[in-house]
Structure 1
């Protein structure tokens, strides 16, 4: 028993180390993506602005050459860094899943009792994974919503400024048109994909699953004074009910507004 416990502890330590490496890899990956998109866009915008506002007699040809070389080198370097970070995150996730499967197998061999089947044990161990998946998806949709919403806000302000400045220089009118198109596209994406609603539904489901996990572990609320087999059955039923409700919410978001069923009051005789 002591040997098995030490093995589980060493596996937990390995999982913690991999989770730390994955978190660090994701952070660097985000920086690389920001560099690959916003950084290179800023460099390209600088090159375009230089061609528009700098006199061609001031050595603009050499500036364009070095600017294009720097832009190409930055684009290649940022793509390589992003791809390597992505590969490291995937590799770390695979190793973590392997360790978690090994730990679950060891714990199942020790803790499975006549009143609780091994199938339920593996199901119970997978429930935190459901919760974490919902939370990660909620964070993903929340970040997308914030990105497009920020694009709409900043783009609207810049469009107004560009429209005002277009009275003096014609280039600002084209900039205003481009910014207006970006704002319209971003607003349309927000309205169609409903990132905020998806994030809210996923976060609510994750929080509800977390409450059920805590209630079952502490034997409180609906699990108070229940035999182990009945508590296990009730726990599994409640988790599956929450997951089924989440699937229904996702299907409702996929339907257009005109496809939603409209309830009409019954006609009175």
Structure 2
């Protein structure tokens, strides 16, 4: 008879690991928020002082013996007032005991990073202690693949749209250059339009050659199709996943998919390299 599954223990393991991930994600967000808060505390007074100095410099350089225009005074006064209010609000949020607005006030970013390191270490130790068998991990790996396939296809569609947009802009700009040149003879009234269209054609051509959105879209779509093909073969139990033992099929499937993902990353790296570097790699 098959052994009963320890569903209670599995559920506890899952809940513990999820809780660790939530704690890590929360600390990462808190670190980002705290970095912005500390930046505002230090940067806002500096910007306020710089703005006041700039206001005074304008007065000394241009209107030393006369009155400063009211528009200049209004603009600089409004900016100074806004920055002053921002300084006061941030100081109150940081040091006031009555207003608990900031979650990590009076806490350094270094302390939060230390908490994050400890949380990640606890997560690693807990995951190592509660690591399920390889067959279970391979089965869960198979269940995560639909999301990976969807991500690859979305990125492929994004690069395909970028490629199509660049091509249409290139077509329209190239045709417009000929049309404007033929319409104006000599082309003096449309000189600015011709310069702009020629600039657009040059930029689009250079961007398409450098970023290669068509090649990226093709590679992503090819990887997604290959992974989906292997997932379907595993689901149907056909070659090469027709072994009698499910564990062997899962192991072969995980190895194959990781190989496909490694090939995709290598192709992305080759596209990011200059043309000379690509020829050396090839």
Q: 2:267 matched to 1:249?
A: yes
- 1:219 match: 237
Report how many aligned residue pairs link the two structures: 151
Q: 2:258 matched to 1:240?
A: yes
Per-residue deviation at 1:158?
A: 0.5
Question: Which one of 187, 195, 200 corresponds to residue 177 of structure 1?
Answer: 195
- 2:159 match: 141
- 3-state SS in 2 of match to 1:222: coil
- 1:188 match: 206
Question: 1:87-106 counterparts in 2 under 5 A?
Answer: none
In structure 1, list runs of 5 or more residues that go unmatched: 1-113, 265-269
Distance in 1 of aligned mates of 2:234 and 2:257: 11
Per-residue deviation at 1:262?
A: 4.0
Change (3 A) 1:163 1:238: same
Change (3 A) 1:169 1:249: closer
Question: 1:1-269 counterparts in 2 under 5 A?
Answer: 117-167=135-185, 170-260=188-278, 262=280
Normalising by structure 1, report the TM-score.
Answer: 0.53
Per-residue deviation at 1:169?
A: 6.4
Distance in 2 of aligned mates of 1:116 and 1:254: 35
Per-residue deviation at 1:225?
A: 2.9
Distance in 1 of aligned mates of 2:137 and 2:281: 43
**What is the CA deviation profile of residues 209-261 of structure 1, one whole-angstrom value per residue up to 9, with x for unaligned ones?**
01001000001011113301111100100110000000000011111111235
| 8 Å contact from structure 1 (residues 216, 231) kept in 2 | yes
Per-residue deviation at 1:149?
A: 0.6
Per-residue deviation at 1:118?
A: 3.2
Per-residue deviation at 1:198?
A: 0.5
| 8 Å contact from structure 1 (residues 165, 172) kept in 2 | no
| 8 Å contact from structure 2 (residues 160, 217) kept in 1 | yes
Greater helix share, structure number: 1
Change (3 A) 1:144 1:220: same
**What is the CA deviation profile of residues 150-207 of structure 1, one whole-angstrom value per residue up to 9, with x for unaligned ones?**
1111110001111222326633221111111111111111010000011111111000
| 8 Å contact from structure 1 (residues 209, 242) kept in 2 | yes
- CA RMSD in angstroms comes to 2.2
Distance in 2 of aligned mates of 1:231 and 1:190: 42
| 8 Å contact from structure 2 (residues 271, 278) kept in 1 | no
| 8 Å contact from structure 1 (residues 159, 179) kept in 2 | yes
In structure 2, list runs of 5 or more residues that go unmatched: 1-131
Please identify the structure whose Cα radius of gyration is greater: 2
